[in-house]
Each structure stands twice: as structure tokens, then as C-alpha cells.
């Protein structure tokens, strides 16, 4: 009888261990599922129409998203040096539909923004060697218009390290601010489009 009682207790302990193990595995499974369901922050680039960047015949201007960073580059594939002033790139949030708000209620407007951790400016030569000439972590507050002397077969590259998680979700129009007061006849004028959009999705 004592043996039978002990055997029953042993079976109960084994059953309880199995139940605890099943519950533990279920919790892990639920946790992993929830992790998979959390959407990742995404940065994409889009255009509203087919207009492209207008550039000199010896220049190739690109604007792409690479590893969640915005990359602006100018390639001189001609045989002569080219002089230009890189624009200050500004992200302007596109207006969203506003809900009906009581006019008597004063609401402090919140302006959405894209957070830029750092901006790396560099030159890339024929051998694809990159030489970083400046690192800016001031969100372009210290921007100064300067003339760039771009040698043949070289690339001028500006990489914006965008912080997706700290940025506000939304659609942002890219503005190219290049109104410099530099008086130099060698400087070429690049006409940038007004239709490039950066999308922050969370």
C-alpha cells in the first residue's frame, strides 16, 4: 500500500513537471511570435512623377537609400574638373489631413522631423577608395556653402545617417537649398527636382 502511494506521488510529480515544461515552452513560443509581429522601422525613397534630376552632360547625380541612409552623390565622368556648390538637403514634412479642432482651444503645433545622427562627406577615386573629408553631427546647423572642385572620374558623396527609430513617421519632401552667394563663373548650376519623397514607416 505504501509502495502504491509512493508510486502515485511519483506519477503526480512527473505529470506536474510535464505541465510546467509545456507552459514554459508555450510562453517562449508566444514571446517569439510577438517579436516577429513587431513591425520594423523602414525608410524608403519614392518619386511622385517621372521627372529626373537635371544635370550637366558630364555629371551623374544620384540620390538613393542605402542601408537606411540617404546617399547624395555627384560623379564627374568627363575629362575636365567640374565646379559646383553642394546643396543643403532639407526634409519637409508633407501636410496631413487635420481633424476638426475647436478654434477656441490653443494647440501647440508639433513639427515632425527626420533625425540625422551624422553626415559623412567624402570623395571616391577611380580605385573606389573613399576619403572622408568631413563628419557633421549638428543636423546641418553649421552648414556653409563651399565650392567643390571635382576632378575627372571622381565621386563627391554625402551620406546622411538617418535615425529611423527617433524620427517621426510620415512622408517628407526633399528640398535642395543651393542659393549660395559665391560669385564664380566656373560653377555649374544643377536643377534638382521637387518630387522626391522620403517615407518613414513604423
Q: Using CA atoms, how far apart are residues 135 and 155, in angstroms rounded to an integer?
A: 17
Same-domain pairing of 109 and 13: no
Task: With cut-offs at 50, 70 and 90, classify the pLDDT of residue 185.
Answer: confident
β-bridge partners, 150:
82
Domains in the chain, number:
2
Same-domain pairing of 100 and 18: no
Q: Which helix (H) or strand (E) holds 30?
A: helix 2-37
Same-domain pairing of 20 and 119: no
Predicted confidence at residue 178, as pLDDT, reads: 79
Could you report the per-residue pLDDT of 57-66, keeping only the tens digit for each? Answer: 688 888 999 9
Task: Say if residue 128's pLDDT is above 80.
Answer: yes
Predicted confidence at residue 105, as pLDDT, reads: 64
Same-domain pairing of 173 and 115: yes
Predicted confidence at residue 20, as pLDDT, reads: 63
Same-domain pairing of 124 and 47: yes
Same-domain pairing of 78 and 160: yes
Let me know the angle formed at the C-alpha of 70 by 66 and 75, rounded to the nearest 5 degrees: 85
Provide the residue range defining the domain that includes 142.
42-201
Q: Using CA atoms, how far apart are residues 12 and 105, in angstroms rounded to an integer?
A: 66
Give the pLDDT mean for 142-168.
93
Could you report the per-residue pLDDT of 79-99, keeping only the tens digit for each? Answer: 999 999 999 999 999 976 555
Same-domain pairing of 105 and 20: no
Same-domain pairing of 79 and 156: yes
Give the pLDDT mean for 39-51.
75
Could you report the per-residue pLDDT of 149-161, keeping only the tens digit for each? Answer: 999 999 999 999 9
DSSP notation for 123-190 = EE-TT--EEEEEEE-STTTT-----EEE-TT-EEEEEEEEETTTSPPEEEEEEEE-------TTBPP-
Same-domain pairing of 33 and 46: no
Predicted confidence at residue 28, as pLDDT, reads: 62
Q: Using CA atoms, how far apart are residues 94 and 85, in angstroms rounded to an integer?
A: 27
Predicted confidence at residue 50, as pLDDT, reads: 45
Computed over every residue of the chain, the mean pLDDT equals 80
Same-domain pairing of 91 and 121: yes
Give the pLDDT mean for 15-26.
64
Same-domain pairing of 58 and 135: yes
Higher pLDDT, 131 or 97: 131
Task: With cut-offs at 50, 70 and 90, classify the pLDDT of residue 54.
Answer: low
Task: Say if residue 3's pLDDT is above 50.
Answer: no
Radius of gyration of the chain (CA): 28
Same-domain pairing of 59 and 88: yes
Amino acid at each position: 500500500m505504501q509502495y502504491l502511494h509512493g508510486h502515485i506521488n511519483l506519477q503526480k510529480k512527473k505529470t506536474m513537471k510535464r505541465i510546467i515544461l509545456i507552459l514554459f515552452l508555450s510562453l517562449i513560443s508566444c514571446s517569439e511570435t510577438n517579436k516577429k509581429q513587431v513591425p520594423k522601422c523602414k525608410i524608403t525613397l519614392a518619386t511622385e512623377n517621372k521627372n529626373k534630376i537635371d544635370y550637366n552632360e558630364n555629371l551623374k547625380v544620384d540620390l538613393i537609400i542605402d542601408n537606411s541612409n540617404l546617399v547624395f552623390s555627384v560623379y564627374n565622368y568627363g575629362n575636365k574638373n567640374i565646379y559646383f556648390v553642394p546643396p543643403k538637403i532639407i526634409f519637409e514634412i508633407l501636410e496631413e489631413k487635420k481633424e476638426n479642432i475647436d478654434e477656441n482651444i490653443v494647440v501647440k503645433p508639433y513639427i515632425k522631423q527626420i533625425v540625422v545622427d551624422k553626415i559623412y562627406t567624402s570623395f571616391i577615386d577611380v580605385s573606389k577608395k573613399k576619403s572622408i573629408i568631413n563628419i557633421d553631427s549638428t543636423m546641418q546647423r553649421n552648414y556653409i556653402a563651399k565650392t567643390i572642385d571635382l576632378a575627372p572620374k571622381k565621386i563627391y558623396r554625402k551620406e546622411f545617417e538617418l535615425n529611423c527609430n527617433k524620427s517621426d513617421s510620415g512622408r517628407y519632401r526633399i528640398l535642395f537649398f543651393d542659393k549660395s552667394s559665391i560669385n564664380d563663373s566656373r560653377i555649374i548650376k544643377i536643377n534638382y527636382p521637387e518630387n522626391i519623397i522620403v517615407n518613414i514607416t513604423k
